Structure 1
Amino acid sequence: MVGRVRPAVMPQLRARAGPDVTDDRHLVVRVLAQAAEGLDRAVGWSRLWSPVGLAVLVGLRSQLRAHNLVDTGRPGDPLPAGLASEYRVRTVDGTYNDVATPRAGSAGSRFGRNVPTEQTHPEGVDAISQPNPRLVSTRLLSRREFVPATSLNLLAAAWIQFEVHDWFHHAPAVSDPWHIDLPEGDKDWTHGPMTFDRTAADPNNAPGAPPVYASTVSHWWDGSQIYGETQEYADAIRSRQGGRITLDTDGLPPVETEDLLDPEGQASNFWVGLALLHSLFLAEHNAIADRLADAYPAMTDQQLYDTARMVNAALMAKIHTIDWTPAIIAHPTTVAAMRGNWFGLLGEKFSRRFGRISDNDVLCGIPGSPTDDSGVPFALTEEFVAVYRMHPLIPDEVAIRSLADDTVVGAYPMHNLLAGDVRQRLGERSRTDLLYSFGRAHPGALSLHNYPVSMQNLARPDGGHLDLATVDIMRIRERGVPRYNDFRRALRLPRVGSFLELAGDPDVARELEDIYHDIDRVDLMIGLYAEPKPRGFGFGDTAFRIFILMASRRLSCDRFFTVDFRPEVYTEVGMAWVRDNSMRSVLLRHHPGLTPALRGVSNPFAPWNVPRPPED
């Protein structure tokens, strides 16, 4: 037992644990974390009895926090430190969430890293283009036939893009674009040379250091995808009455406000799935503002807006934590882990009955616990961005169904559901029917040979075309994210020794070897799609390591989810709104007609029911 380590052994253990361990309590935590990592290597967390597997995941998270958080700095003029009492609401650009380090996580701040900085130098000009990313796209990614993820509905695919728009966006470079040579015999690309912008690197980086990149949007979980990334847009969509946002008949801000959006940002990859979620949570904002106004008539328009935004953002974070993530990683251990992130191991029922009895986030959940950035100012990471490349979730066609009788009333190829056609599609069918259609449809499985064909020949607003799969491969390479085996090594996972060990299928192994020849050259995204998945998982265990680390960090670093997640900031009504609501209640509040489709469905991101006709 660790608690019985003999005193003579303790100094040796302390020396191995590292110089940052200053007392026996920290030593025990470190030793337990190392033991958890060893047990995971020997057996695998997913094969353990769920309570033991959960303890192992806690230990893995501790190890990842200790070894896989790298601060790349915060460029720009420093801002003076503030007091939390002076900054009781979320700012548009994300500054002053961390009042001691005001630029942490704000728009324009750098992405961090989950691997050592010295491993993030992009490969040289010859190596970075090999194997040819277009060849990888056509030979390993192109969808041969649609492989559905039958445990999920299409709303789950729209949701993750909805959240990604809140978390990060890289700026394009203004010169020196990528030029991708077409492989010999590539007759499917008929649009001339394939070119696309590089990512704009931070010009203030230290000479000789690996390039670093900044996000144009706040890294915080603050709802910026609907509230706006600039003060101009945030102001333009407000009604200035009762804290509400102005919405048109499509459930979106007036069309003229779209001119204020970054055309290279979320406006460029908007589609009907995103529009449905935007309309849903913009309506939710107004419902929250109305409830606050009823409860607190003395609150000003500004106070109502700010508080409704905080409540809405917290509700979105809760939905992602306890609804979306358990749907896409539906293993009993990870379902318990994600609910534990929000409610703690004592659980939701205990929390509702007794409230928060401890500051310990493991016992009582992260919301309301002390803020903890593990000594590294908050930023999302390039590795986090890389593992969220999930375009196979998108189908090439979406059937539109009538809620009344489940009949298919139309079917649209994906290119007819994109930004330029969103308003027309919303005008053709009710949003209730569209949500029902997404609830009945499946996304694609995150696997090889399942990348949407429509995304490999994507028409751009400027008239050009893009193979998004080729872009995905090059984005990961150019930003210095290690290739698959080096990525695993950086996370203290064993290297994969052969293509067969990676894929587990001789045919797939031969395909991979024919393209890569060397197992250590396999691209991260290809390895993530090829590797076997734990039971109930939509993605593999390698990507899951980044989720273990960053899913809790997005909450634990954020003042508005930790020390300021309290009635004095959110109000009593606001706290109750977060506590009592979920994706199901949000859907049914604004679209009560969906009740029969959701009846008996355990998770709103799982496939919905076909409503039964009323009995005579």
Structure 2
Amino acid sequence: MRRAPHGSADGKTPQDADDTGTTSWFVQLHDKLALAADRRIGWQNLPTPLGLLALIGLRNQLRRENLFDTTAYPARNLPPLGPPDPRHLTERTADGTYNDLANPRMGMAGSRFGRNVPPDRNFPEPEPGILSPNPREVSRALLTRTRFIPAESVNALVAAWLQFMIRDWVSHGTGSADRSWRVELLDDDPWPERPMLVPRTVPDSTRPDGEDGADGLPPTYINEKSHWWDASQLYGDDLAAQRELRAGEDGKLKVPHNGALFSDDPERDPANVPGFWVGLALMHTLFILEHNAICDRLRAEYPGWSDEELFQRARLINAALIAKIHTIEWTPAVISHPTTATGMRANWYGLLGRRVHRLLGRLSESEVLSGIAGGRTDHFGVPYALTEEFVAVYRMHPLVPDDWSFRSAADDSLLQEATFEELAGRHAYEILGKHTLPDLFYSFGTAHPGLVTLHNYPRFLQEFRRPDGKLMDLGAVDVLRIRELGVPRYNEFRRRLHLAPAKDFDSLTDDPAWAEELRRVYENDIERVDLMVGLFAEPRPKGFAFSDTAFRIFILMASRRLNSDRFLTRDYTPQVYTQAGLDWIEDNTMASVLLRHFPQLRPAMKSVDNAFAPWKTTGPSR
């Protein structure tokens, strides 16, 4: 299935797609030079201005060649949607519908993941190839954490934040246990169940019977979450869930106590969902409090507004603030190379910068000069969706430490030491009930996450019991799931992102011992190296907590999440957000959000410009 013709959301051809114009000629030449410079020198090795030009060129090329539409494949069982209502002009819907008024299904919860590699590369390998090498052996031999390798340039809030974002963006569901993969185990494997059973991903229920791969088209899968950056992890994925989370007064959300997120339905209790832990609960609580603070500000400005009006505007403002924090704070923290830090800030404000933006507003329609926020909505010719490749490169479980220390924000005294197992599931409520939120945030802010690399996968997640009692090695599941979803293996993935493949194991990694381990596991076949393993093994650019190959998907998709969302582009206006709302987004950062609700953190945070950088300890040096 070919991608749609290149064009923008309003049907006009973007300037850089005008094949007959001077601009197009110049842009195409620039992009070719950018690709050549990246391959020969590496964008990270260029001076910052040249590195930025290289990244702009790479992004242009990825937009042209690495967006593929899966919604055009045969479909059935699509719920009927009527024409948009007037309220859709100024409100995000609970399920993500009507963001694009001309295509109201685009990006809604229950719609398909898109793709960043061509359809002919989306077919998973048939058995037995898909199980080779054995995912469990890959996990044991290459992922197992022998010692904790910290990412010392950031604090542990980056791990909690990332999962908080993932809960907004993507979910394939919990899998189909009646159609499990059978992973055979070696004799010396201590795994208690034989064989290891891994539930398969639930098939796309919108594909006609017999057409999921049988019609010459690759299989597709459903995202249970809205694809939009709409803070659905706070507000729910449907109207029923949203109503349950609301307080019903002054636009506010119910505030959790000791982590419990108020649910009359046990199935909605977050502790019953795999992946719940203290870090996730902290982020939920913080931005529930922030939503309610926004409601107070709006009520003071507009005292006649109803509960519904206050809720809807506060949601818009809170979601945009979260998107801004991720774009210009979290991402520059985890990829702290000077070029990428400048580039991510430019995604929001443009290269002219925040100061010019504040003084003069947008001076150009160009996203490069004036940023994406408040600019033109553009889908680049392909209906917006998050992609399977995006999900694959965001499998960053090494960020999570196994061992934690909780300390007092007042004097850094030790309160408790705990393993990650004692932070997860229903145990999280025990931690939240035992310690104050300022102490917990302080403990995260003064600790380091793990580096996303080989031999740094959390031990607990390699023998993880889900709330439903099923035991899993999440490392093995990560490896198998990427294969199952038809994301190419490492070398082919690099080729499709216009990167040179690794010639051999010695060129894949700069660690000779790792090269030998990889050679043994993959039986000297570099083309069999799994994507996640290759991402973890390759050398990282300076300041990066993860790989340059993964960064190529971020170059494309980080800006696309903004470009395609009308609430972050053409409708990012005072008429939709209110001027008070836009000012709130502009004037706040992760640090100001934390300090508004927990002023006790000020002594620890006074030394950092970015709340995701390591905080100063408040007591004697440890």
Deviation at 1:475, TM superposition (A): 0.5
Q: Is the 8 A contact 2:184 2:194 kept in 1?
A: no
Deviation at 1:208, TM superposition (A): 3.2
Is 1:487 aligned with 2:499? no
Taking the aligned partners of 2:131 and 2:233, their CA distance within structure 1 comes to 33
Question: 402, 406, 411: which is aligned to 1:405?
Answer: 411
Deviation at 1:240, TM superposition (A): 1.4
Taking the aligned partners of 1:603 and 1:25, their CA distance within structure 2 comes to 38
Aligned to 2:528: 521
Q: Where do 1:94-105 residues align within 5 Å?
A: 94-105=96-107
- Consecutive aligned runs of 4 or more in structure 1 exceeding 4 Å deviation: 83-86, 261-264
Q: Give 3-state SS (helix, strand or coil) of 1:197's partner.
A: strand
In structure 1, stretches of 5+ residues that fail to align are 1-17
Taking the aligned partners of 1:270 and 1:612, their CA distance within structure 2 comes to 31
Aligned to 1:185: 188
Aligned to 2:138: 136
Aligned to 1:9: none
Is 1:539 aligned with 2:541? no
Deviation at 1:535, TM superposition (A): 0.6
Deviation at 1:462, TM superposition (A): 2.5
Identity %: 50
Deviation at 1:212, TM superposition (A): 0.5
Greater CA drift, 250-259 or 346-355: 250-259
Taking the aligned partners of 2:441 and 2:403, their CA distance within structure 1 comes to 15
Aligned to 2:610: 603
Question: 65, 69, 72: which is aligned to 2:70?
Answer: 72
Greater CA drift, 313-322 or 193-202: 193-202
Deviation at 1:254, TM superposition (A): 2.1
Q: Give 3-state SS (helix, strand or coil) of 2:38's partner.
A: helix
Q: Is the 8 A contact 1:252 1:279 kept in 2?
A: no
Q: Give 3-state SS (helix, strand or coil) of 2:405's partner.
A: strand
Deviation at 1:248, TM superposition (A): 3.8
Is 1:209 aligned with 2:217? yes
Deviation at 1:42, TM superposition (A): 1.5
Aligned to 2:7: none
Q: Give 3-state SS (helix, strand or coil) of 2:197's partner.
A: strand
Aligned to 1:591: 598
Deviation at 1:39, TM superposition (A): 1.4
Deviation at 1:359, TM superposition (A): 2.0
Normalised TM-score (structure 2)? 0.93
Deviation at 1:25, TM superposition (A): 2.3
Taking the aligned partners of 1:336 and 1:81, their CA distance within structure 2 comes to 41
Deviations for 1:500-526, whole angstroms, at most 9, x for unmatched residues?
A: 000122111100000002000000000
Aligned residues: 593
Q: Give 3-state SS (helix, strand or coil) of 2:176's partner.
A: coil
Q: Is the 8 A contact 1:359 1:368 kept in 2?
A: no
Deviation at 1:80, TM superposition (A): 4.7
Taking the aligned partners of 2:241 and 2:565, their CA distance within structure 1 comes to 24
Deviation at 1:435, TM superposition (A): 0.4
Question: 562, 565, 569: which is aligned to 1:562?
Answer: 569
Taking the aligned partners of 2:349 and 2:399, their CA distance within structure 1 comes to 29
Q: Is the 8 A contact 2:262 2:269 kept in 1?
A: no
Q: Give 3-state SS (helix, strand or coil) of 1:176's partner.
A: strand
Question: 436, 444, 449: which is aligned to 2:455?
Answer: 449
Q: Is the 8 A contact 1:233 1:257 kept in 2?
A: no
Greater CA drift, 414-423 or 583-592: 414-423
Aligned to 1:425: 431
Aligned to 2:559: 552
Deviation at 1:230, TM superposition (A): 2.2
Letter in 2 for 1:546: I
Aligned to 2:4: none
Is 1:176 aligned with 2:196? no
Q: Give 3-state SS (helix, strand or coil) of 1:336's partner.
A: helix
Taking the aligned partners of 1:339 and 1:226, their CA distance within structure 2 comes to 25
Deviations for 1:62-103, whole angstroms, at most 9, x for unmatched residues?
A: 000000000001642563554787432100110110111111
Letter in 2 for 1:360: S
Letter in 1 for 2:44: S
Aligned to 1:236: 244
Aligned to 2:157: 155
Is 1:435 aligned with 2:437? no
Residue 373 and residue 213 in structure 1: after superposition, are their counterparts in 2 closer, same or farther (change >3 A)? same
Residue 273 and residue 261 in structure 1: after superposition, are their counterparts in 2 closer, same or farther (change >3 A)? same
Deviation at 1:152, TM superposition (A): 1.2
Deviation at 1:261, TM superposition (A): 5.4
In structure 2, stretches of 5+ residues that fail to align are 1-15
Q: Is the 8 A contact 2:259 2:432 kept in 1?
A: no
Letter in 2 for 1:180: V
Deviation at 1:153, TM superposition (A): 0.9
Question: 456, 466, 475: which is aligned to 1:469?
Answer: 475
Q: Is the 8 A contact 1:596 1:612 kept in 2?
A: no
Taking the aligned partners of 1:92 and 1:19, their CA distance within structure 2 comes to 35
Normalised TM-score (structure 1)? 0.94
Taking the aligned partners of 1:90 and 1:454, their CA distance within structure 2 comes to 38
Q: Give 3-state SS (helix, strand or coil) of 2:426's partner.
A: helix
**How large is the Cα RMSD of the aligned pairs?**
1.7
